[in-house]
Chains A and B, each alone.
Chain A
Amino acid sequence: MAASKKDVVILVLIAAIAGIFLSGTFTFTKDDIDKAKLAYKKKGLIAVMPFLDDGYQELKYKYKEQTINIYTVSKNGSYKGAALELITKEGYSGTIKFLLGLNENQKITGLYILDHSETPGLGSKAANKEWWGQFLEKSKPAFTFKVKKDGGMVDAITASTITSRAITNAVDKGMDIYSDFMKNGKISNVTELDNGQK
């Protein structure tokens, strides 16, 4: 029942043609895919930083063995604020990735969920302004970034304490990172990447 040499040659030929066709498609779509990814990210940045209108700078900031992506915005030379890309692995169904916007007074200006696998209708409500709106204009130490169950001031989503806690704790860490960045980051620990165009 072994295949003849001719059969094997034909299969290799089919695979080779498929490979060429695929690499062509890949090359053809590569730029558009990068553009689409960037547009998606920009949508999030605009959502969390209402002061963003011209452009932003993408930086990588080192904080305690972690490297965080920070997108800073300056207008006419004066610093307006930044968005931090934060990740938590403590979500109910795993990793939650989100953007946290902060202004120059270290007050929160927005929150935008980028990626999550939380339960639809329950944990997924974290993406709604009805929930994360409670973070707006808040800052440390006036506001305690922990869910009420853990002694803080944050209202958890009904029946989704785990999701709420995961995001709240990540926001708490994010506030610490940002305050560290405001103190030291603008001088050192920063690798500038590229200028984001509008």
Chain B
Amino acid sequence: MAKNNEEIIATKTEKIKVKIKNKDSLSKIYYEGLWSSNPVLIMLLGLCPALAVTNSGINGLGMGVATTFVLIMSNVVISIFRNMIPAKMRIPSFIVIIATFVTVIDLVMEAYAFELHKSLGLFIPLIVVNCIILGRAEGFAYKKSVFLSLNDGFAMGVGFTLTLVVMGMIREFFGAGTFLGNPIMAKGFSPALIMILPPGAFLTLGYLLGLSHYINRKRAERANQ
């Protein structure tokens, strides 16, 4: 009988451990959004805007902020109505909600940030098809509470924005010799134009992917020692 009790306690402890591991905490949400499940570097989502609008730091920041707005709003709205949205209609419903918020931010940017809107151009409406937003809607907001969904949207958005800003600043520096639009290199500096052209985007993203995966691997190796 004692053995049975021990087994029961052992399985119960295991179950609790699993539950704690899967428990949603804010720190877990932020760690995942910013690093361990970084939408661009780890989940490899949203690569199209990451490549296309990171020709300068400001453009990357603008796109990141616009996407974060849509992420937060769509996550919140979908989470609020998650029990009312029928499962069979969920994808069209998500798309309608996401597209609405993208149009809102498009109009707002055109009214209050005209030059940035002009620079980003057609990539603002393309936020609708950014897989990060639909991914979080389906994988998180549809299942979890409004508070958690809001934070998840913000965390993923910040992770996305930071990645884009870093990419933008690297490409801008090597490709145009400027920092956030201000020239900081001497006149003699001949920038590598390729960095602000599409091949430079792929090169920068490739190196960042390699670096982040290398760091993660080293950490995993140290953890296993």
Contacts and interface: CB of A to CB of B under 8 A. Distances in A.
B193 A22 contact: no
Contacts of A11: 89, 92-93, 96
Interface residues of A, number: 27
A122 B114 CA distance: 25
Nearest to B111: A32
Interface in A73-121: 119-121
B170 interface: no
Given A3-B86, A25-B103, A25-B107, A120 B55 contact: yes
Of the listed residues B85, B88, B197, the one surrounded by the most CB atoms of chain A closer than 10 A to its CB is: B88
A39 interface: yes
Nearest to A121: B193
B87 to A, nearest CB: 9
A7 B88 contact: yes
B115 A29 contact: no
A193 interface: no
Interface of B is mostly: helix
Given A36-B112, A40-B114, A121-B176, A21 B86 contact: no
Contacts of B112: 32, 36
Interface of B: 55, 84-86, 88-89, 92-93, 96-97, 99-100, 103-104, 107-108, 110-112, 114-115, 118, 175-176, 191, 193, 196-197
18 contacts: A3-B88, A7-B89, A10-B84, A10-B93, A18-B96, A21-B100, A22-B100, A25-B103, A25-B104, A26-B107, A29-B110, A29-B111, A35-B111, A39-B114, A40-B114, A120-B55, A121-B176, A121-B196
Given A7-B86, A10-B89, 5 more contacts: A3-B88, A6-B86, A8-B89, A10-B93, A33-B111
**Top 7 A-B pairs ranked by shortest CB distance?**
A32-B111, A36-B114, A18-B100, A7-B86, A29-B111, A121-B193, A33-B111
